[in-house]
Amino acid sequence: MKKPGVFGTLDPFLETGPVLGRKVANTGFLRFLLAADPFESYHFFLADKPQRDSVAKILAGLAPDIAARGGFALMDRRELPERLKTTPYACFHQSDCINFPTHIARLRNAHAPRLFPITGPTHSLSYPDFPAAFLRHLWAGATPQDCIIATSRAGQAAVEAFFTHLRQAYALADTPGPSLRRIPLGLDPKTASAPLPTHEDRLALRRKLGLPEERTLILVLGRISHSSKMDVVPLIRALARLFDEGLPRDSVTLLLAGWAEEDDTFPQDLAGIGAKVRLDVRLEIKPDEGRKAEILGACDLFVSIADNPQETFGLTLLEAQAAGLPVIASDYDGYRDLVAHGATGLLVPTLGPEPAQEEDFVDQLAPLLFDNQYHLLLAQRTAVDAPALAEALRTLLTDPGLRTRMGAAGRERIAGGFLWPQVVARHLELWDELAALPGPDIATLRHVPHPLHLPYATVFASYPTRTLEPGSRLTAGRSGQALLAGKEHPMLYAGLDSVLDPDIIRKTVFLARNGETAAHITLRLLELCPGLSQDRAAYHILWAVKHDLLQTVREA
């Protein structure tokens, strides 16, 4: 049974470039939404034709059955107002809560016959321009059907803190905002159901990867950068502490695997730091998915000590637990949602700055710096408890049986609620819940502007010599007379076909043939062209003047 209505989005969900958690999550969500296929059709309003053509090919490969029945429609964003008038959308879902949700809400309010949910998840929340992005959510046209989906408890608290800060700073206590719900990210079920490697399999993988066969292998997987995700040096220091306390140095190897730029020397610097304390550090830069699976299968223990607010969820922790690895993680951000302390791994306490009443020097500098610069400043004032980290490492390095039990428990926990089909099901339930919430009559929102939508005609009214006023008189121009005589045809540039209608253009010229005011022409167009708005009528009139189909009549 298909859900009534159509799924809509302005995002392709499918991104190329560096492997980042956001991209992996967005691709996974779309893939398993289409696998569930809960809607009759799926509308993608994309930026340009090359993107539409590219996404169409990918979608045909991802979901050939949907493509075969004509269930995909890839359209220009300029078509959105007309589609909203005539299409029964069940929801619009974006790949994030930042870029488009409030703009879609304004168009929905202006054109759709009813309210429908508009949703988008959180990813990284620590960019200094995000207060402006969240401010867009606070406006008179916001409804309970507009919803930000936080992926973790910490992320949900951060979004709530954004809105508290903005409402206080801008005196917006009574201004409505979106709903807020929490749904985690997920994994492909295959990752949690594939057979775990046997001891012999693990040894074979280590030989293939060139890793020591008899040592305990600690894996750190993610972007290898001190300014993004985590600083690995405290982990090396914790291992050095254990070596000084008697842990054999030749019993452990640290494998750092993940993304790094080609010219970035930092991974080699980390290996050098490890060498100084006689820790064997191996590097695996940019492993593909197959290589990553082999690495997870070869290792004994997964460690991730996030210290950076850039991290919100922690997809690699899911991957590690699905691979049967016990996890040592910092008690930070979304990590505490993913690791059951003492059962699937160990959480290490963290220490951060006390919230201040006034901005500090990092707050003041962040808008002026590159992402890696201010994130480094932020991360270096968040401390992972070094003695506790060393003790957690000691516990799992010296107890293979505990590692096995925690790994099995982690895999079971992931299978119980962190797989994409389960996550998609929660989204479907959320869209039903949001649609059923009481909301304002959409008619009362038709003419509620968004305060951060630039009123171009007003702001730039001083640019032209004069503006089109209701009393402005117009008549057919030279080209307009030729059009009425059948000797001329309107020439529309690519990209204007969803804005201008040749039939309306002809009617406009016909109505002005004997000289009429702009107000009279507009009124008659609205009568003759059902569904035409006043601003669209004005656009047709001005376009016709531009192309000499109409000309202004100068008063004597």
Helix %, strand %, coil % of the chain (to 5): 45, 15, 40
Q: Where are the beta strands (DSSP E) in 273-343?
A: 280-285, 301-304, 327-330
Where helices occur in 63-142 by DSSP H, the ranges are 64-68, 80-86, 101-111, 130-135
Residues 6+ apart with CB under 8 A from 443: none
Report the 10 Å Cβ neighbour count for 401: 7
Q: Are residues 362 and 434 in the same domain?
A: no
Contact of 336 with 154, CB cutoff 8 Å: yes
Domain end marker among 408, 439, 470: 439
Q: Both 176 and 204 in a single domain?
A: no
529: containing domain: 458-552
CA distance 403 to 166: 45
Q: Tell me if 444 is assigned to some domain.
A: no
Asked if the structure places residue 448 within a domain, the reply is no
What pLDDT does residue 477 have? 93
Q: Are 145 and 116 in contact (CB under 8 A)?
A: yes
pLDDT tens for the 556 residues of the chain, in order: 688 899 999 999 987 655 567 888 999 999 999 999 999 999 999 999 999 999 999 999 999 999 999 999 999 999 999 999 999 999 999 999 999 999 999 999 999 999 999 999 999 999 999 999 999 999 999 999 999 999 999 999 999 999 999 999 999 999 999 999 999 999 999 998 889 999 999 999 999 999 999 999 999 999 898 888 899 999 999 999 999 999 999 999 999 999 888 888 899 999 999 999 999 999 999 999 899 999 999 999 999 999 999 999 999 999 999 999 999 999 999 999 999 999 999 999 999 999 987 889 999 999 999 999 999 999 999 999 999 999 999 999 999 999 999 999 999 999 999 999 999 999 999 999 999 999 999 999 999 999 999 999 999 999 999 999 999 999 999 999 999 999 988 888 988 988 999 999 999 999 999 999 999 999 999 999 998 999 999 999 999 999 999 999 976 5
Q: From the CB of residue 460, how many other CB atoms can be counted at a distance below 10 Å?
A: 11
Say which residues have a Cβ less than 8 Å from residue 24's Cβ, sequence separation at least 6: 315
268, part of any domain: yes
From 405, 439, 473, give the residue that closes a domain: 439
Same domain, 198 and 159: no
Specify whether 51 is located in the same domain as 102.
yes
Same domain, 199 and 247: yes
C-alpha distances out from residue 533 to 81, 82, 443, 467, 538, Å:
11, 11, 15, 19, 9
Asked if residue 445 belongs to a domain, the reply is no
CB atoms within 10 A of CB 299: 26
In a domain, 165, yes or no: yes
Q: What is the DSSP letter of 45?
A: E
Q: Is residue 89 part of a domain?
A: yes
362/468 same-domain check: no
**Cα dist. 405→162, 296, 397, 398 in Å?**
40, 17, 13, 14
- Under a CB-based contact definition with an 8 Å cutoff, are residues 374 and 288 in contact? no
Q: Are 420 and 32 in contact (CB under 8 A)?
A: yes
Nearest 5°: CA angle at 310, between 309 and 312?
Answer: 80
Same domain, 230 and 285: yes
Q: Is residue 201, in this structure, part of any structural domain at all?
A: yes
Tally of CB atoms within 10 A around 294: 18
Same domain, 283 and 409: yes
With respect to residue 446, please indicate whether it lies within any of the assigned structural domains.
no
Q: How far is it, in rounded angstroms, from Cα 194 to Cα 298?
A: 15
Q: CB of 301 within 8 A of CB of 326?
A: yes
pLDDT value at residue 17: 59
Rounded to 5 degrees, φ, ψ at 256 are -100, 115
What distance lies between CA 241 and its chain's CA centroid?
A: 40
Distance CA 64, CA 429 (A): 25
Look at the chain and report how many structural domains it folds into: 3
Question: Alpha-carbon distance 76 to 86, whole Å?
Answer: 16
Q: What are the backbone dihedrals phi and psi of residue 430, each rounded to the nearest 5 degrees, phi first?
A: -65, -45
- pLDDT of amino acid 260: 87
Q: Are residues 464 and 435 in the same domain?
A: no
Backbone phi and psi for residue 355, each to the nearest 5 degrees, phi listed first: -55, 135
Cα–Cα distances in angstroms (integers) from residue 341 to residues 79, 316, 318, 344, 387, in the given order: 50, 17, 14, 6, 17
28-49 per-residue burial string, b: 16 or more CB within 10 A, e: under 16: bbbbbbbeeebbbbbbbbbeee
Contact 243, 278 (CB under 8 A): yes
Same domain, 152 and 35: yes
Round to the nearest angstrom and report the end-to-end CA distance of the chain: 69
Instruction: Note whether 81 and 203 are same-domain residues.
Output: no
How far apart, in whole angstroms, are the C-alpha atoms of residue 179 and residue 184?
16
Sheet holding 550-552, edge to edge: 516-517, 473-476, 550-552
On whether both 157 and 197 belong to a single domain, the answer is no
Amino acid at 67: A
What per-residue confidence (pLDDT) applies to 495? 84
Q: What is the CATH number of the domain that holds 121?
A: 3.40.50.2000
Contact 542, 468 (CB under 8 A): yes
Joined tokens for residue 397: 């390095």
pLDDT at 416: 95
